[in-house]
A and B are shown apart, each in its own frame.
Chain A
Amino acid sequence: MRFMVIVKATPSSEAGTLPEPKLLEEMGKYNEELVKAGVLLAGEGLHPSSKGARVRFSGTKRTVIDGPFAETKELVAGFWLFQVKSLEEAIEWVKRCPNPMPGTEAEIEIRRVFEPSDFEPAISPEVREAEERMRVQLAAKK
Chain B
Amino acid sequence: MADPGAHRAIEAIWRIESARLIAGLARMVRDVGLAEELAQDALVAALERWPGSGIPESPGAWLMATAKHRAIDLLRRGKQQERKHEELGRELEAEREIAAADPDGSDAAAEDGVGDDLLRLVLVACHPVLSTEARVALTLRLVGGLTTEEIARAYLVPVPTIAQRIVRAKRTLAEARVPFEVPRGAELAPRLSSVLEVIYLVFNEGYAATAGDDWMRPALCEDALRLGRILAGLVPDEPEVHGLVALLELQASRTRARLGPSGEPILLLDQNRARWDGVLIRRGLAALERAEQLGGAEGPYALQAAIAACHARARTAGETDWPRIAALYGVLARRVPSPVVELNRAVAVGMAHGPAAGLALVDALTSEPSLRSYHLLPSVRGDLLSKLGRLDEARVELERAASLARNARERDLLLRRAAECAR
Contacts and interface: CB of A to CB of B under 8 A. Distances in A.
A83 B283 CA distance: 13
Interface residues of B, number: 38
A1 B230 CA distance: 18
A131 B15 contact: no
Nearest to A1: B222
B11 A93 contact: no
Contacts of B225: 38, 83
B284 to A, nearest CB: 12
A38 B12 CA distance: 15
Given A88-B12, A131-B407, A133-B408, A37 B230 contact: yes
A134 B411 CA distance: 10
Contacts, number: 84
Interface residues of A, number: 33
Interface stretch (B122-130, B164-172, B255-263): B255-263
A86 interface: yes
B288 to A, nearest CB: 17
A76 B303 CA distance: 40
A46 interface: no
A128 B279 CA distance: 32
A41 B229 CA distance: 10
B250 to A, nearest CB: 14
Interface string B192-227: 000000000000000000011101001100100111
A116 B226 contact: no
A120 B255 CA distance: 13
Contacts of A85: 12, 15, 219, 222
Contacts of B264: 127
A92 B13 contact: yes
A25 to B, nearest CB: 13
B16 A37 contact: yes
Given A42-B279, A92-B16, A123 B263 contact: yes
A130 interface: yes
A91 B230 contact: no
A17 interface: no
A112 to B, nearest CB: 14
Interface in A71-128: 81, 83-86, 88-89, 91-93, 115-117, 120-124, 127-128
Nearest to B282: A42
Contact of B222 (A36, A83, A88, A117): A83
B90 interface: no
B408 A38 contact: no
A121 B261 contact: yes
Given A35-B233, A88-B12, A83 B226 contact: yes
Contacts of B24: none
B263 A127 contact: yes
B409 interface: yes
B166 to A, nearest CB: 20
B406 interface: yes
A131 B408 contact: yes
Contacts of B407: 131, 134-135, 138
B12 A91 contact: yes
Given A42-B279, A127-B263, A133-B408, A86 B230 contact: no
In the A-B complex, the 8 residue pairs with the smallest Cβ-Cβ separation, listed nearest first, are A38-B229, A38-B226, A123-B212, A88-B12, A36-B233, A89-B12, A134-B408, A130-B408
Interface of A: 35-39, 41-42, 81, 83-86, 88-89, 91-93, 115-117, 120-124, 127-128, 130-131, 133-135, 138
12 contacts: A36-B115, A39-B226, A84-B12, A86-B11, A88-B8, A88-B11, A117-B218, A120-B261, A121-B261, A127-B408, A134-B408, A138-B407
Interface of B: 8-9, 11-13, 15-16, 115, 211-213, 215, 218-219, 222, 225-230, 233-234, 256, 261-264, 275, 279-280, 282-283, 406-409, 411
Given A38-B229, A131-B213, 4 more contacts: A41-B279, A83-B222, A83-B225, A88-B12
